[in-house]
Amino acid sequence: MSNRQAEIAAALDVVPPFADEAALVAQVDRRKAFIKNCLKNSGLKVLVLGISGGVDSLTAGRLAQLSVEELRGESGDSAYRFIAVRLPHGTQHDEHDAQASLQFIRADEEDTVNIESSALGLGAQITHLQNLSAARRDFVMGNVKARLRMVAQFTIANANNGLVIGTDHAAEAVMGFFTKFGDGACDLAPLSGLVKGQVRSIAKYLGAPENLVLKVPTADLEELRPGKPDEEAHGVSYTEIDAFLHGLSVREEAYDIIVRTYDNTRHKRELPLAP
């Protein structure tokens, strides 16, 4: 392990590889306890999370549902509940996966907020977008979608005196692969410190369908490239990102991409600059 690998892994609180199933189960229990404590310490009783159809929201969503069920059993208070929210932009190309995720999660309540009209309305009002190239405008509007989705989730949480769950984990955090003040904004992030393979392992342990566990990750924010794989955007695979974070040897090119991207996206992981 290089000094940079060790430094980055420590900064992101990376969880070591699961030695066995007992270690995996311990992490599941730890993260459910974390979710439950966040609710109890806040004095609130509702959790909200957007479900995209990917393994991250599927895993966080099922952990949230299990946590509120345990809280209801332990406290006798039926007010504890989890709201799973679909947040499509128009018609999502992999809506079948999102619906399958909802069926697996079995949330107390499901809601849908289509953000298309909000995104188009905002885009039409911002003249600075008009002279951009099609590709650049598509990228900027992708960030608008991510931020509007979080606005919707916080609105639902506010209306129900609840907390918003985020799905960030170490393999995304190291690449800064989230929208600042968009999907990077939340009240609690129960997958923090896990690498992508560990998220998949937890999803599998929880009983998620294999096709969802192994689904190719995509942020799905670009109109010109719907379903664009995360790994294409990264320029490096999640297998290599996971290996890097766990201190293993990776290709020199992959190492350089990960370190450079981590350094360039530092602002996303820090509080706003102040004098």
Sheet holding 162-164, edge to edge: 109-112, 81-86, 46-50, 162-164
Q: To 5 degrees, how large is the angle CA 41–CA 43–CA 48?
A: 95
270 is catalytic: no
Conformational region of residue 47, where left means phi above 0, alpha means psi within -120 to 50, and beta covers everything else: beta
CB 203, CB 58: distance < 8 Å: yes
Active site residue 172: yes
Instruction: Please identify which of the residues 56, 97, 108, 183 carries the catalytic annotation.
Output: 56
Judging by DSSP bridges, how do beta strands 109-112 and 162-164 pair with one another?
A: unpaired
Non-local (6+) Cβ contacts of 78 within 8 A are 72
Please report, in range form, the residues annotated as the binding site for deamido-NAD(+): 147, 180, 187, 267-268
Q: Which residues are within 8 A (CB) of 41 and not within 5 positions of it... i.e. 6 or more apart?
A: none
Show binding-site residues for ATP. Answer: 50-57, 167, 196, 218
User: Of these residues, 97, 108, 168, 172, which one is catalytic?
Assistant: 172
Q: Which residues are designated catalytic? A: 56, 172
